[in-house]
Amino acid sequence: MAAQTTQTGFAEPANVHVFPPVALSAEAAPFTPVGTEGWQLGSPSDAEKQFSRCAAKLRALRAESGQLREELNQLFDQLLSENYNKTFEPSINIRPEDVCTLLKHASTLVPLNQEHLVIKFCQLVHHLLNQLKVIMDEQTLDVLLHYTASAMRECSTWTHSDVLLALSTIVYGNGPQCLQYLGQDFLGEDGFLLLYSSPSQSNMELRRVTLKCMANICLRIPGQPPLDDQYRSLSFSVFLKTLQSPKPPNTDELFYSMVIQAALKGLQCCLSGGKWKFGGGEELGSILASLKRLMFQGTPGVSVEWPSVLYPAALPQYEGFSAPKQAEAPKPSEAAKDPAMQGKTSGNKKRKSRGKGKKTSNEESRGDDGEEDDREVASLPQKGVGREGESPSKPTGPSLYPSWKKISSDSEFSDPEGSAQSKLRLYHGRVRQGALHCLLAVVKGLEKRTLYGYWSSFIPESPIGGPPPLNLLTIILKDASPKVRACALQVLSSMLDGSRQFLAVAEDTASPRTSYTPFSFSLATAIRELHRALSLALLAETSPQTLTQVIKCLAYLVTNAPYHRLRPGLLSPLWKQMRPYVRHRDVNVRVSVLTLYGALVTTQAPLPEVELLLRQPEGSGTSGGSFTPQDSALSWRKRDGAATHSPRAPRTPVAEEEGAAPWLLQLCVSLVTQPREDQSDGEGAGGAALEPSPVRLEALQVMSHLVRGYISLAKACLCDIGQVSTHCLRETDPSIQLHGTKLLEEFGTGIIQQYRAENNVPESCRIPMSQVVLFWTEVLNGPLNGALQNEQHPTLQTSACDTLSSILPQAFAQLPDKTQLMCITVLLGLTYSENYLVKTASVRALGVYILFPCLREDVMFVADTANTILAVLDDRCTNVRAKAAWSLGNLTDTLIVNMASVGVDFQEELSDMLLLKMLQAATRASADKDKVKSNAVRALGNLLHFLRESQLTRSVFQCPLEDAVRALVKTVQSEATMKVRWNACYALGNAFRNPALPLGSAPWSSDAFSALCHVVTSCKNFKVRIKSAAALAIPAHRGCYGDTKRFGCVWRSLATALDNSEDTNDFLEYRYSASLRHTLSQALLHLLSVSQSQDMPVLRESLAGDEGMAIKEHLIKYFRAEEGGGGGGEGAQGEKDSAGDSVSPQQRMGGLQQTLIRLKGLMVEGEEQGEEEERGREVVVHFLEDLLKTCEEP
Of 24 and 213, the structure prediction assigns the larger pLDDT to 213
Count the Cβ atoms, other than its own, within 10 Å of residue 1192.
9
Whether the per-residue pLDDT at 373 is higher than 70: the answer is no
Instruction: Determine which of 703-707, 836-840, 1089-1093, 1147-1151 has the lowest per-residue pLDDT on average.
Output: 1147-1151
Distance of CA 1179 to the CA centre of its chain: 62
pLDDT at residue 333, as a whole number: 36
User: Cβ contacts of residue 1114 below 8 Å, gap of 6+?
Assistant: 1058, 1061, 1077, 1080, 1081, 1123
Residue 1188 class from Cβ within 10 Å (0-12 exposed, 13-18 middle, 19+ buried)? middle
Whether the per-residue pLDDT at 604 is higher than 60: the answer is yes
**Mean per-residue pLDDT for 1134-1150?**
60
Whether the per-residue pLDDT at 1011 is higher than 90: the answer is yes
Most confident of 518-522, 766-770, 964-968, 1127-1131: 964-968
Residue-level length of the chain: 1194
Q: Which tens digits make up the pLDDT trace of 3-44? A: 444 434 444 444 434 444 444 444 444 444 444 333 344 456
Beta strands 11-12 and 4-5 are antiparallel
- Rounded Cα distance, 1053 and 1080, in Å: 10
Whether the per-residue pLDDT at 71 is higher than 70: the answer is yes
Q: Render 1055-1112 in DSSP notation, one character per residue.
A: HHHHHTTT--S-HHHHTTHHHHHHHHHHHHHHHHHH--GGGHHHHHHHHSSHHHHHHH
Which of helix, strand or coil describes residue 304? strand
CA end-to-end span of the chain, whole Å?
125
pLDDT at residue 1168, as a whole number: 52
For 824-837, letters b (16+ CB in 10 Å) and e give bebbbebbebebbb
**Mean per-residue pLDDT for 333-346?**
37
Q: Render 590-615 in DSSP notation, one character per residue.
A: HHHHHHHHHHHHHTTSSPHHHHHHHH
| DSSP conformational letter for 514 | S
| DSSP conformational letter for 618 | T
**Mean per-residue pLDDT for 864-871?**
96
pLDDT band at 1147, cuts 50/70/90?
A: confident
Q: Which tens digits make up the pLDDT trace of 1030-1086? A: 999 999 998 899 899 999 999 999 999 998 887 776 667 777 888 899 999 999 999
CA distances from 1125 to 1017, 1022, 1061, 1121, 1134 (A): 19, 12, 13, 10, 8
**Mean per-residue pLDDT for 858-872?**
95
Q: Render 88-134 in DSSP notation, one character per residue.
A: T-TT----HHHHHHHHHHHHHHS-TT-HHHHHHHHHHHHHHHHHHT-
**Mean per-residue pLDDT for 875-887?**
95
Instruction: Determine which of 346-355, 697-706, 868-877, 1163-1172 has the lowest per-residue pLDDT on average.
Output: 346-355
Element (H, E) at 11: strand 11-12
Instruction: Determine which of 275-284, 404-413, 781-790 has the lowest per-residue pLDDT on average.
Output: 404-413
- Rounded Cα distance, 315 and 529, in Å: 15
Of 705 and 341, the structure prediction assigns the larger pLDDT to 705
Instruction: Determine which of 630-634, 913-917, 1119-1123 has the lowest per-residue pLDDT on average.
Output: 630-634
**Mean per-residue pLDDT for 218-242?**
87
pLDDT band at 490, cuts 50/70/90?
A: very high
pLDDT at residue 62, as a whole number: 83
Task: Give residue 357's identity as a one-letter amino acid code.
Answer: G
User: Cβ contacts of residue 152 below 8 Å, gap of 6+?
Assistant: 160, 163, 164, 167, 185, 192
pLDDT at residue 1162, as a whole number: 74
Of 405 and 276, the structure prediction assigns the larger pLDDT to 276
pLDDT at residue 512, as a whole number: 60
Could you tell me if 962 and 951 are in contact, meaning their C-beta atoms sit under 8 angstroms apart? no
- Rounded Cα distance, 578 and 599, in Å: 13
pLDDT at residue 938, as a whole number: 95
CA distances from 1107 to 512, 845, 1049, 1057, 1059 (A): 47, 52, 15, 11, 8
Task: Give residue 1's identity as a one-letter amino acid code.
Answer: M
Could you tell me if 799 and 741 are in contact, meaning their C-beta atoms sit under 8 angstroms apart? yes
For 403-422, letters b (16+ CB in 10 Å) and e give bbbbeeeeeeeeeeeeeeeb
DSSP lists the bridge partners of residue 5 as 11
CA distances from 650 to 453, 647, 812 (A): 52, 6, 30
- Rounded Cα distance, 798 and 1174, in Å: 69
pLDDT at residue 126, as a whole number: 94
Whether the per-residue pLDDT at 965 is higher than 90: the answer is yes
In degrees, rounded to 5, the angle at the alpha carbon of residue 63 between the alpha carbons of residues 58 and 68 is: 65
- Rounded Cα distance, 544 and 1093, in Å: 85
Q: Where would I find the H helices in 110-228?
A: 115-132, 138-154, 160-170, 179-181, 192-196, 204-218
Instruction: Determine which of 62-76, 784-798, 856-870 has the lowest per-residue pLDDT on average.
Output: 62-76
Whether the per-residue pLDDT at 1128 is higher than 70: the answer is no
Of 219 and 321, the structure prediction assigns the larger pLDDT to 219
Backbone angles phi, psi at 400, to 5 degrees: -85, 130
Of 405 and 1139, the structure prediction assigns the larger pLDDT to 1139
The percentage of the chain sitting over the pLDDT mark of 70, rounded to a whole number, equals 79
Q: Where would I find the H helices in 355-498?
A: 361-369, 415-445, 448-451, 455-458, 472-478, 482-496
Q: With helix as H, strand as E and coil as C, how does 18-52 read?
A: CCCCCCCCCCCCCCCCCCCCCCCCCCCCHHHHHHH
**Mean per-residue pLDDT for 255-260?**
92
User: Cβ contacts of residue 504 below 8 Å, gap of 6+?
Assistant: 562, 565
CA distances from 1100 to 1052, 1157, 1187 (A): 12, 18, 15
Whether the per-residue pLDDT at 387 is higher than 90: the answer is no
- Rounded Cα distance, 695 and 704, in Å: 14
- Rounded Cα distance, 668 and 724, in Å: 10
CA distances from 10 to 5, 6, 17, 1111, 1136 (A): 6, 6, 15, 116, 102
Q: At what angle do helices 415-445 and 253-272 cross, to 10 degrees?
A: 20
Which of helix, strand or coil describes residue 320? strand
Q: At what angle do helices 1003-1018 and 1022-1032 cross, to 10 degrees?
A: 140
Beta strands 11-12 and 304-305 are unpaired
Q: Render 748-779 in DSSP notation, one character per residue.
A: HHHHHHHH-GGG---GGGSPPHHHHHHHHHHH
- Rounded Cα distance, 1076 and 1114, in Å: 11
Whether the per-residue pLDDT at 405 is higher than 90: the answer is no
- Rounded Cα distance, 560 and 556, in Å: 6
Task: State the virtual CA torsion across 1023, 1025, 1031, 1034 in degrees, nearest 10.
Answer: -100
CA distances from 1128 to 300, 1066, 1078 (A): 56, 17, 12
Backbone angles phi, psi at 939, to 5 degrees: -65, -40
Instruction: Determine which of 240-254, 266-280, 422-436 has the lowest per-residue pLDDT on average.
Output: 266-280
Backbone angles phi, psi at 172, to 5 degrees: -55, 110
* Nearest CA among 998, 1021, 1013, 989 for reference residue 952: 998
pLDDT band at 143, cuts 50/70/90?
A: very high
* Nearest CA among 197, 151, 198, 195 for reference residue 170: 151
pLDDT band at 174, cuts 50/70/90?
A: confident
Whether the per-residue pLDDT at 674 is higher than 60: the answer is yes
Whether the per-residue pLDDT at 347 is higher than 50: the answer is no
- Rounded Cα distance, 556 and 596, in Å: 8
